[in-house]
Amino acid sequence: MRILGIDCGTERTGYGVIESDGKRHAAIAFGVFKTNAREPMADRLCVIARGLREVIAEYRPEAAVIEEVFVAKNTQSSLKLAQVRGVAMVMAREAMVAVHEYSPREIKMAVVGYGNAEKGQVQLMVKALLGLEATPPEDAADALAAAICRATMRLL
């Protein structure tokens, strides 16, 4: 199964596409869409939407995974993050891709085996599980971890 993981952020949205049978995973593509914090939010959302639309069209995932919103101390940050999540969901559904959501804790448990794992631990486990030569950027690693979580949860 081909799965797209998306790590939503207003300045950096990570994506990762894997191919998995539920036990073995292979990275197909990953990266980060960067936006300019000085640009209007609508323009930033368009950058993210365009990028996701291109990734979905090129790699044709069967499923997309988006991390659930956690309640941040800053309400404005939570609202902006929710807008990015909405864009990601629409881009996936527009292409008839099933959308799944997991909490940050569930994703870390699936990849690291510890729900409170640090970002660096997630990066190292993603690198190991996918047999990557280099450690992926944080946002891309989080997206790949979300995809791995879906691949393993599918079997349960």
| Per-residue confidence (pLDDT) for residue 71, from 0 to 100 | 64
**CATH code at position 10:** 3.30.420.10
Q: How confident is the model at residue 92 (pLDDT cuts 50, 70, 90)?
A: very high
Of the candidates 11, 58, 67, 106, the residue annotated as catalytic is 67
Active-site residue, 142 included: no
Instruction: Please tell me the distance from the alpha carbon of residue 48 to that of residue 95, in angstroms, as a whole number.
Output: 15
- What residues have CB less than 8 Å from 99, skipping those under 6 apart? 63, 64, 65, 66, 89, 92, 93
| Per-residue confidence (pLDDT) for residue 74, from 0 to 100 | 78
User: What length does the chain have?
Assistant: 156
Mean pLDDT of all residues in 103-112: 95
pTM of the model: 0.95
Across the chain, mean pLDDT equals 94
- 128-138 confidence digits (pLDDT tens): 999 999 999 99
Domain count, the chain: 1
Q: Do the Cβ atoms of 146 and 8 come closer than 8 Å?
A: no
| Per-residue confidence (pLDDT) for residue 110, from 0 to 100 | 94
Other beta carbons within 10 Å of 40: 9
Of the candidates 11, 19, 58, 139, the residue annotated as catalytic is 139
With H, G, I as helix, E, B as strand and everything else as coil, classify residue 136.
Answer: coil
User: At residue 155, does pLDDT exceed 80?
Assistant: no
* C-alpha 29: how far from chain center: 12
Domain that holds residue 134: 2-153
| Per-residue confidence (pLDDT) for residue 76, from 0 to 100 | 85
pLDDT exceeding 90 applies to what percent of the chain?
87
Other beta carbons within 10 Å of 151: 25
Active-site residue, 139 included: yes
User: At residue 15, does pLDDT exceed 60?
Assistant: yes
